């Protein structure tokens, strides 16, 4: 029998309990979190910069779990926003049986985006996963205010009122309900703006987007909706007149 100590040296040391691999490559997990007052998007950007600057040649890095999903969603933000606008437009087109009335509603959405960008700039938040969720949410909320005006204007138009008078009267009558519901919603997201503790950065980002978007949609967009409605109604009226002129039979000429 050969004693084990004759061929090897044994000593106690610290080491990993298991060997992890990622895509068949030896790997190590690095876990990080956002510090208080910073969003997850800012934390991911900071880790990305550190990995690029500090990792030695031949060592790569990749994202997994929620970080991977957030990075993946960030690359699809424009597609998701366009898809949301398209779905809202097609749904309203089916309800109104018209292409011009949904366009009035969709034109009010960019005004809410102005408030979102301003709110994010004031608070210094980046466009991360939670702000993107808030932007998609604001598409529906901004459309809601415009729908109230457009729907009532359509009823007044059916009663024989002109497009301009119907738009102004609809905005005047629907102004109070819109302001009441919007103020209630804005005050409801104030706790998100002032959130503290674990996950506060994500709550603040979402609350900032909704707060700024609703504020702009209420104070700025409402005066523009009647103007959009009049412009689209005039365009639709011209198109109907041209179509009627094309369908009208040509006058008969007297043969010599």
Q: Within this chain, do residues 115 and 220 fall inside the same structural domain, yes or no?
A: yes
Q: Within this chain, do residues 213 and 119 fall inside the same structural domain, yes or no?
A: yes
Q: Within this chain, do residues 78 and 44 fall inside the same structural domain, yes or no?
A: no
Burial 183-203 (b: 16+ CB within 10 A, else e): eeebeebeebbebeeeebbbb
Indicate the number of domains in the chain. Answer: 2
Other C-beta atoms closer than 10 Å to the C-beta of 132 total: 22
Q: Within this chain, do residues 26 and 140 fall inside the same structural domain, yes or no?
A: no
Q: Within this chain, do residues 174 and 235 fall inside the same structural domain, yes or no?
A: yes
Q: Is the predicted pLDDT of residue 251 greater than 70, yes or no?
A: no
What's the pLDDT score for residue 99?
Answer: 84
Identify the domain containing residue 149 by its residue range. 68-246
Q: Within this chain, do residues 110 and 46 fall inside the same structural domain, yes or no?
A: no
What is the sign, positive or negative, of the torsion defined by CA atoms of 115, 215, 110, 164?
negative
Q: Is the pTM for the entire model greater than 0.75?
A: no
Q: For residue 60, is it within any domain?
A: no
Q: Within this chain, do residues 143 and 72 fall inside the same structural domain, yes or no?
A: yes
Expressed in angstroms, the distance from the first to the final Cα of the chain is: 132
List, for residues 69-86, the tens digit of each pLDDT value: 777 766 677 788 888 888
Q: Is the predicted pLDDT of residue 185 greater than 70, yes or no?
A: yes
Q: Within this chain, do residues 205 and 78 fall inside the same structural domain, yes or no?
A: yes
What's the pLDDT score for residue 37?
Answer: 62
Stretch 230-242: mean pLDDT: 82
Q: Within this chain, do residues 47 and 78 fall inside the same structural domain, yes or no?
A: no
Q: For residue 30, is it within any domain?
A: yes
List, for residues 135-159, the tens digit of each pLDDT value: 888 888 888 888 888 888 888 888 8
Using DSSP's 3-state secondary structure scheme, residue 26 falls into strand
Alpha-carbon distances, residue 26 vs 16, 22, 61, 105 (angstroms): 12, 6, 12, 54
């Amino acid at each position: 029998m050969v004693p084990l100590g004759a061929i090897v040296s044994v000593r106690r040391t610290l080491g990993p309990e298991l060997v992890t691999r990622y895509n068949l490559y030896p790997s190590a997990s690095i876990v990080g979190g956002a510090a208080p007052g910073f969003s997850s998007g800012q934390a991911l950007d900071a880790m990305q910069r550190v990995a690029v600057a500090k990792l030695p040649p031949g060592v790569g890095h990749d994202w997994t779990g929620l970080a991977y999903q957030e990075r993946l969603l960030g690359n699809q933000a424009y597609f998701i926003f366009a898809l949301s606008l398209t779905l809202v437009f097609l749904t309203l087109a089916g309800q109104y049986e018209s292409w011009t009335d949904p366009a009035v509603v969709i034109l009010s959405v960019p005004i809410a985006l102005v408030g979102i960008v301003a709110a994010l700039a004031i608070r210094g938040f980046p466009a991360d996963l939670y702000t993107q969720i808030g932007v998609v949410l604001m598409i529906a909320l901004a459309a809601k205010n415009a729908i109230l005006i457009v729907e009532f204007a359509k009823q007044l138009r059916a009663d024989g009122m002109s497009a301009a008078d119907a738009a102004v009267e609809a905005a005047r009558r629907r102004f109070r309900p819109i302001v009441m519901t919007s103020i209630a919603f804005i005050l409801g997201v104030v706790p998100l703006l002032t959130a503290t503790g674990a996950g506060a950065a994500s709550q603040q980002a979402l609350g900032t987007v909704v707060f700024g978007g609703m504020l702009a949609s209420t104070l700025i967009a409402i005066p523009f909706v009647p103007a959009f409605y009049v412009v689209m109604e005039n365009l639709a009226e011209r198109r109907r007149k041209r179509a009627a002129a094309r369908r009208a039979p040509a006058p008969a000429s007297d043969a010599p």
